[in-house]
Structure 1
Amino acid sequence: MALLADALSRVKPSATIAVAQKARELKAKGRDVISLGAGEPDFDTPDNIKKAAIEAINRGETKYTPVAGIQPLREAIAAKFKRENNLDYKAAQTIVGTGGKQILFNAFMATLNPGDEVVIPAPYWVSYPEMVSLCGGTPVFVSATQENGFKLQAEDLEKAITPKTKWFIFNSPSNPTGAAYTHDELKALTDVLMKHEQVWILTDDMYEHLTFGGFKFVTPAEVEPGLYNRTLTMNGVSKAYAMTGWRIGYAAGPAELINAMTTIQSQQTSGACSIAQWAAVEALNGNQDFIAESRKAFEKRRDLVVSMLNQAPGLECPTPEGAFYVYPSCAGLIGKTSPGGKVIETDEDFVTELLEAEGIAVVHGSAFGLGPNFRISYATSEAELEESCIRIQRFCNACK
């Protein structure tokens, strides 16, 4: 009898985690490696949030928590959605999970039946299709091309929807491209979704606070209130407050869906870490100055990286509106020979040869569903980014 479940054959390991691990292994062997693979702010969690966690420990907030989250955090989440997104949710319509991944997984586990389709714009975050497949659904990919700024067009969304479509996943600003949708660009998509009453919207707003140059963030149920009753609005404290390791994601949506997700979580992990939840209360309710400071630093880094990559022969790097990623095309290097003597046939060849020759770890675009591109995370120091871009330029110049 086989040990492993058939479901495992439908899922691939995370490419972003694999790149980070490979970089760690090479560093351990003494190689000079700069890893630009991880989607994680390099800033420390703000002091007021750390202090709130310490105070929670000293108060004895170290017991099991309610499955859907402690009441002060659920109230803070509802207040955040009202204050920042013009969305009215009761605390009972919210749920707290161990990171955004658990929120997504619970939603799919609670709603997907075999044969249900989930429309996913490509490039996509690597975990979306794997979660859909593990939960028995069928991912349906729709290309959002570089010509369109990596933004899904309304007519392409319309073509992808069938009677079997259960969910549409929307992520803005996007991981991996950094593309963010304006009010009008999003309205074109919500107009399509209004025509298809069977389609639910799962919006991943994790990078909401990381937009640049006066860009105004909007979320689907805010743009089209008619979608409120079939939208799950997901967010978290990881990116905005540099709290990746605290593992707190949250969402709000119709009570029926939230209750179903809570039932699944009750048999899976129960409530998220008590101390991390109290820290998240302070993150959402406390001083917000950190967000503007980190945004300013990220914008400066973005401009540095875009400028330097566009000086490398064979690369073309669009300027993204948000997040902390760029998604350059390496089409101009396909067919050339790397300094190591290998012909670069794919974006995966490009990133493999770049790591080998120059010790720069990035993630190939085909892992995100659209190449020939690669993703760079610029969530690291300006000095490291400058050195990385010099090495990338050198590599590109050496390709024949």
Structure 2
Amino acid sequence: MSFLAQRLSRIKPSPTIAVTQKARELKAAGRDVIGLGAGEPDFDTPENIADAAIRAIRGGDTRYTNVDGTPALKQAICAKFKRENGLEYRPEQVTVGTGGKQVLYNALMATLNPGDEVIIPAPYWVSYPDMVELAEGTPVIVPCPEARNFKLQPADLEKAITPKTKWVILNSPSNPTGAAYSRAEMKAITDVLVRHPHVWVMTDDMYEHLVYDGFEFVTPAQVEPSLYERTLTVNGVSKAYAMTGWRIGYAAGPVALIKAMGVIQSQSTSNPSSVSQAAAVEALNGPQDFIPARAESFRQRRDLVVSMLNQAKGITCHRPEGAFYVYPSCAGTIGKATKSGRRIETDNDFVEALLEEEGVAVVQGTAFGLAPFFRISYATSTEELEEACHRIQRFCASLRD
């Protein structure tokens, strides 16, 4: 349709949202479907956080706020960065958006010119390349194979950097793989970046608190202080605090960048919800003791899912360090046929057939830039996960040469 903007042709709808929507539609139509597509904790928002929102509503805190966040929330974010990451930021170095996605988008829109390159390790969160494209930049995809635990290698990063490189996007723990960089691994990456002063670092730390087996989370500016002035450290309350629908993300970085991002936001959405911001203040300043307990639940689910998937014929599943995703390979099923005679040639075929025949909704690895894999979110009940994994085992056992 010629009426639509050309830039629309460069992007596609979010595949993870599409899978979740399809699962909902099938359930509504009466199908027995287990949806493992959504990256959303199944826990409720803690009561003290919900109560803070109710107090804000009853107290009349329902008007416009500063475009990029209230003073109270910015102070809480500064305190969080100092307390948890050893990073000193002032309120003018902080921005708050309607979810982490808006914060990332604002940064790219505020900094990219046509032809600027953004290095994105793959597998990647589905939105990174599309946001770069919308901002008229060029995504430079660097494959990170399973043999390297889905992690960016310093030599591969070095090779990908050109005079046109403006950003490197790092996501640890990762969506979709759950891979997280140890301090030594992160230092090896930052050592490369120190040698290239024109390259900025955008780090998506949304899954910071969801790490397991004693793993120590680190963020680039913490590991390498000399990168502080060219790092945008992005985080939010969605995952650790089970506040996905509240839509609050935030970031800290150099003042000039934060101001530029505020200009973008002022002409798009303006301020995030005042009520959600009040809730986020309580989330960051209030009790944190429930986070390790919930993380332990996720760890148990991870171990269950990894064990059961590795018992499925043709599937191998790496055990990740964090987040609430696994990224199993379905390479052993390629070339086989389903009971109905459908030939599985790609991971797209695998996930479509799995949904059709067993009612399990997962996301194809192609959407994340590395095939043939698929992503499972284990942010759902143990009972549902067990049933879903039994169905995957049954589906794989039914495939024929």
TM-score in terms of structure 1 length: 0.99
In the alignment, what sits opposite 1:196?
196
In the alignment, what sits opposite 1:235?
235
User: Tell me, what secondary structure is at the counterpart of 1:250?
Assistant: strand
Q: Which runs of 5+ in 2 are unaligned?
A: none
Deviations 1:328-356 (A, max 9, x none): 00001111111221111000100000001
Quote the offset at 1:292 in angstroms: 1.1
Counterparts of 2:147 and 2:2, CA distance in 1:
47
Q: Which runs of 5+ in 1 are unaligned?
A: none
Q: State the superposition RMSD in angstroms.
A: 0.7
Contact 1:340–1:353 (Cα < 8 Å) also in 2: no
Contact 1:336–1:343 (Cα < 8 Å) also in 2: yes
When the two structures are aligned, how many residues end up with a matched partner? 400
In the alignment, what sits opposite 1:285?
285
Deviations 1:51-74 (A, max 9, x none): 000111111101100011000100
Quote the offset at 1:155 in angstroms: 0.3
2:230 is aligned with what amino acid?
R
Counterparts of 2:339 and 2:94, CA distance in 1:
53
In the alignment, what sits opposite 2:311?
311
Dislocated runs of 4+, deviation >6 Å: none
Deviations 1:185-237 (A, max 9, x none): 01111000011111110000000000001000000000000100000000000
In the alignment, what sits opposite 1:77?
77
2:222 is aligned with what amino acid?
E
Quote the offset at 1:21 in angstroms: 1.0
Counterparts of 1:284 and 1:113, CA distance in 2:
35
The answer to whether residue 384 in structure 2 is matched with residue 367 in structure 1 is: no
Quote the offset at 1:357 in angstroms: 0.5
TM-score in terms of structure 2 length: 0.99
Counterparts of 1:68 and 1:40, CA distance in 2:
25
Quote the offset at 1:238 in angstroms: 0.1
In the alignment, what sits opposite 2:138?
138
Counterparts of 1:244 and 1:339, CA distance in 2:
38
User: Tell me, what secondary structure is at the counterpart of 1:139?
Assistant: strand
Match runs of 1:389-400 below 5 Å = 389-400=389-400
Quote the offset at 1:31 in angstroms: 0.7
In the alignment, what sits opposite 1:96?
96
Deviations 1:108-151 (A, max 9, x none): 01000000000000000000000000010000000111001000
User: Tell me, what secondary structure is at the counterpart of 1:206?
Assistant: coil
The answer to whether residue 7 in structure 2 is matched with residue 24 in structure 1 is: no
User: Tell me, what secondary structure is at the counterpart of 2:166?
Assistant: strand
1:282 is aligned with what amino acid?
E
In the alignment, what sits opposite 1:358?
358
2:88 is aligned with what amino acid?
D
Counterparts of 1:349 and 1:300, CA distance in 2:
30
In the alignment, what sits opposite 1:37?
37
1:53 is aligned with what amino acid?
A
Amino-acid identity (%): 70
Counterparts of 2:300 and 2:255, CA distance in 1:
41
User: Tell me, what secondary structure is at the counterpart of 1:234?
Assistant: strand
User: Tell me, what secondary structure is at the counterpart of 2:121?
Assistant: strand
In the alignment, what sits opposite 1:336?
336
Contact 1:248–1:277 (Cα < 8 Å) also in 2: yes
Counterparts of 2:179 and 2:136, CA distance in 1:
29
2:66 is aligned with what amino acid?
P
